[in-house]
Chain A
Amino acid sequence: MSSRDFPQVRLHIVTGKGGTGKSTVAASLALGLAAAGTNVLLCEVEGRQGIARMFDVEPLPYAERRVATGLPGIDGQRGGVVHALHIDPESALLEYLSMYYKLGRAGRALDRFGVVEFATTIAPGVRDVLLTGKVYEATKRNARNKNAITYDAVVLDAPPTGRIAQFLGVNHELAGLARMGPIKSQADSVTTLFHSKRTAVHLVTVLEEMPVQETTDGIAELRKHDLPVGGVVVNQVRPRDLDDDDLAAVRAGAVTKRQLAAALTRSGLSGDAEMVMGLLAEARDHAERRALEDAQRALVDELDVPTYELPLLVGGVDLGALYELAGMLREQGLA
């Protein structure tokens, strides 16, 4: 199924500052997009094996593996299939060489002379071209890769916001290695896909100052390079257990100990002084954080991009939680 808000998009790139939960969001998005009868591919490129951990499967090889069934439809329709791919630059290079150059022995010789290591770790920009090249291949399957699955959507768990524009190739002219030759033409077709309507870059943030600032900067940079900005996913939003009036009362110190003690007694708790003081202190702390979140939320709203909201999960994120989040993303229209 395609995303409700981004119906033309085949490739969803998910980025975000470290610690904001971009991998969780990418995985949930993949589950949400995998509606009945569809195939979705979730890719990771940072060598963390995060997908294997989230979906509780063996560490992924450089091959597409079925990892989960997509989120069922509201009508109870069974979900589609989520596949996952762990892309490492060494394998991508060797595959690329064999696919395009039929370099059998020379390919192995390249490895022996340290060329593979050079290309994947030292040579500027090449690593990114290799990683994005594989994502491109999976998104736009052609005759070179026979018998491969054609995906309805590809979700990329991408590098963090600070590196995303560079990762997507805006500096290829700068990165001398990709200035000409076959690597350049490969990089160019990848770049064309990234700049097209078939791609959207989603940014994950939490309502704190630095991540929001980084999101703002990231969007500006993506726009500067004509890369398609998708939505902003506001993650780990604190529960709204107190409404604005309650928060105002807490901030003004208008919640008296006596009232609270009485209410606690009514609720069947002891309502002793320690508990009353504790709850009030927690309430003040919460009110302060909510004020901070509201200020950051206002900044996010000014960004003029569709926003989606996911709650803070107090129990942590397990596979069940991913489905829960996928449901919210589908409900809100990102999936």
Chain B
Amino acid sequence: MTAPRRSRARSRVGPQSLTGAKTLDVDRLLDDPRTGIIVCCGSGGVGKTTTSAALALRAAERGRRVVVLTIDPARRLAQSMGIEVLDNTPRPVPGVGGAGRLDAMMLDMKRTFDEVVESQASPEKARQILENPFYVALSSSFAGTQEYMAMEKLGQIHADAQRDGTYDLIVVDTPPSRSALDFLDAPERLSSFLDGRFIKLLLAPAKGPARLMSAGFGMVTNALAKILGAQVLRDMQTFVAAFDTLFGGFRLRAQKTFELLQADGTAFLVVAAPEPDALREAAYFVERLSEDEMPLAGLVVNRASPQPMGDVSAEEAMAAAQRLRKDDADPRTAGLLRLHADRVRIVERESLLRRRFEAAHPQVPTAVVPALAGDVHDLAGLRQVGALLAGERPT
């Protein structure tokens, strides 16, 4: 069952050969014992979850002890990986071959948040927080909570793995955000919120030092009460007061996870599809990662249209189809020629988009994964994607 090892020198075939981009050597990344964390990020609908799962499986079957943290896998894929039950704990994936192992888990953001509260506060205080209406809302619906909790869970699993030696590679799928950047911004946003003047404002009445109650504060509290209602404001104040002692811990862990992401053992893979929007998001992400000094390993372009065979151009194929249709002798062959013409045009457009990306980011090694005809929902499918990621030719 183990994926066969291939030599590193592989011929450039398919869409890859159209550009001069450096090839991302996926197997070298997976096999390198220094690679401890792989984070797959990118905009929605580009196949992040499948890519993460395929990388994790391939790494496991090549001998690594891997855990993959997914956010929202397709139902059938979750079933086949044995993680359709949300219990926020990694579970062994059945049917993995080779010497390594693969565990998988699906993130339950509210539960992760609850667990953090429970582990940090006294039982009495934890209960107080968990029952607060503002906390309930924050932990289940704040748009950044999922991103923050994915980071939190990564930190936890990493700490456990370091302590117990359970895993030597963690693969993280990132949440489907409005923008791919939310993932990097959310922890910072949450901790800057926790540090901010707004919290002090909410805490002021509870703590009551008169000097803080400046005219500005009074005006703001009044405005808030007017808009939100006094009850909501009180809930928030109770929450913030109860949570006050936990803030430090949150900030510290957010900081540690951020450092963990910047460390050498981490590899970011930006996942995209050969479409303008997805590649634009990918470009933002690449720029942002380098600004934050995050280790970028490369770009994965999923769903690339397969390279047409033969050297008949779209125009030639269309002209030939036209001639056949005029005779009306062979509509089937005419249809085949039109399909060929479409494919040539799509591949030309995709490679143009990728060349443009490459012109702006020539340093980013790239792996191009041809689109599969069917959907991936079992280990065999993941294995196939893994092989394509590693540049093996489709059979």
Please state if A175 and B141 are interface contacts (CB–CB under 8 Å): yes
A284 and B165 CA atoms in complex are apart in Å by 48
Q: A176 contacts which chain B residues (CB < 8 A)?
A: 133-134, 136-137, 232, 235
Please state if B373 and A292 are interface contacts (CB–CB under 8 Å): yes
Please state if B176 and A162 are interface contacts (CB–CB under 8 Å): yes
Name B310's contact: one of A174, A177, A278 (CB within 8 Å). A278
Say whether A110 faces chain B, with CB atoms less than 8 Å apart: yes
Please state if B137 and A175 are interface contacts (CB–CB under 8 Å): yes
Name A179's contact: one of B229, B308, B330 (CB within 8 Å). B229
Say whether A91 faces chain B, with CB atoms less than 8 Å apart: no
Say whether B387 faces chain A, with CB atoms less than 8 Å apart: no
Say whether A269 faces chain B, with CB atoms less than 8 Å apart: yes
> Interface segment, A64-72, A191-199, A223-231, A238-246?
A238-246
CB distance from A268 to the nearest CB of B (A): 6
Name A183's contact: one of B178, B228, B320, B343 (CB within 8 Å). B228
Please state if B219 and A109 are interface contacts (CB–CB under 8 Å): yes
CB distance from A211 to the nearest CB of B (A): 8
Instruction: Report whether over half of chain B's contact residues are helix, strand or loop; otherwise say mixed.
Output: helix
Interface string of B129-142 (1 = CB under 8 A from A): 00001101110111
Please state if B338 and A239 are interface contacts (CB–CB under 8 Å): yes
- Quick one: closest A residue to B276, CB to CB? A316
Say whether B277 faces chain A, with CB atoms less than 8 Å apart: yes
Say whether A294 faces chain B, with CB atoms less than 8 Å apart: no
Total residues of chain B contacting the partner, CB 8 A: 83
With A264-B320, A316-B349 as contacts: A106 and B142 at CB distance below 8 Å: no
Say whether B298 faces chain A, with CB atoms less than 8 Å apart: no
Please state if A179 and B231 are interface contacts (CB–CB under 8 Å): yes
Please state if B141 and A122 are interface contacts (CB–CB under 8 Å): no
Q: B380 contacts which chain A residues (CB < 8 A)?
A: none
Say whether A282 faces chain B, with CB atoms less than 8 Å apart: yes
Q: A112 contacts which chain B residues (CB < 8 A)?
A: 197, 216
CB distance from B342 to the nearest CB of A (A): 5
Q: B338 contacts which chain A residues (CB < 8 A)?
A: 239, 241
Say whether B124 faces chain A, with CB atoms less than 8 Å apart: no
> Interface segment, B53-61, B188-196, B258-266, B358-366?
B188-196
Please state if A19 and B44 are interface contacts (CB–CB under 8 Å): yes
A239 and B232 CA atoms in complex are apart in Å by 55
- Quick one: closest B residue to A288, CB to CB? B373
A239 and B318 CA atoms in complex are apart in Å by 14
Say whether B213 faces chain A, with CB atoms less than 8 Å apart: no
Name B309's contact: one of A48, A268, A281, A292 (CB within 8 Å). A281
Instruction: Report whether over half of chain A's contact residues are helix, strand or loop; otherwise say mixed.
Output: helix
Interface residues on A, range: 35 or more
- Quick one: closest B residue to A217, CB to CB? B75
Name B74's contact: one of A18, A113, A182, A213 (CB within 8 Å). A213
Please state if B321 and A122 are interface contacts (CB–CB under 8 Å): no
Say whether A159 faces chain B, with CB atoms less than 8 Å apart: yes
Interface string of B315-329 (1 = CB under 8 A from A): 011011101100101
A233 and B34 CA atoms in complex are apart in Å by 47
Please state if A210 and B74 are interface contacts (CB–CB under 8 Å): yes
- Highest count of chain B CB atoms <10 Å: which of A48, A97, A105: A48
Say whether B13 faces chain A, with CB atoms less than 8 Å apart: no
**What are 24 A-B contacts with C-beta separation under 8 Å?**
A20-B45, A47-B178, A47-B179, A48-B277, A109-B223, A113-B217, A115-B201, A117-B193, A117-B196, A121-B143, A122-B142, A124-B137, A175-B137, A177-B236, A180-B232, A210-B375, A242-B339, A246-B331, A260-B333, A268-B319, A274-B310, A279-B337, A283-B339, A314-B342
Closest A-B pairs by Cβ, 10 of them: A18-B44, A181-B229, A19-B45, A278-B309, A18-B45, A267-B320, A263-B333, A114-B198, A209-B375, A241-B335
Binding site for B on A (CB under 8 A): 17-20, 46-48, 50, 97, 101, 103, 105-107, 109-110, 112-115, 117-118, 121-125, 127, 159-160, 162, 166, 171, 174-177, 179-184, 208-211, 213, 239, 241-243, 246, 249, 255, 260, 263-264, 266-269, 274-275, 277-279, 281-283, 285-286, 288-289, 292, 314-316
Known: A118-B198, A179-B133. 16 other contacts (CB 8 A): A19-B43, A113-B201, A113-B217, A115-B223, A123-B142, A124-B137, A127-B143, A162-B176, A180-B231, A213-B74, A239-B339, A274-B310, A278-B310, A283-B336, A292-B373, A314-B345
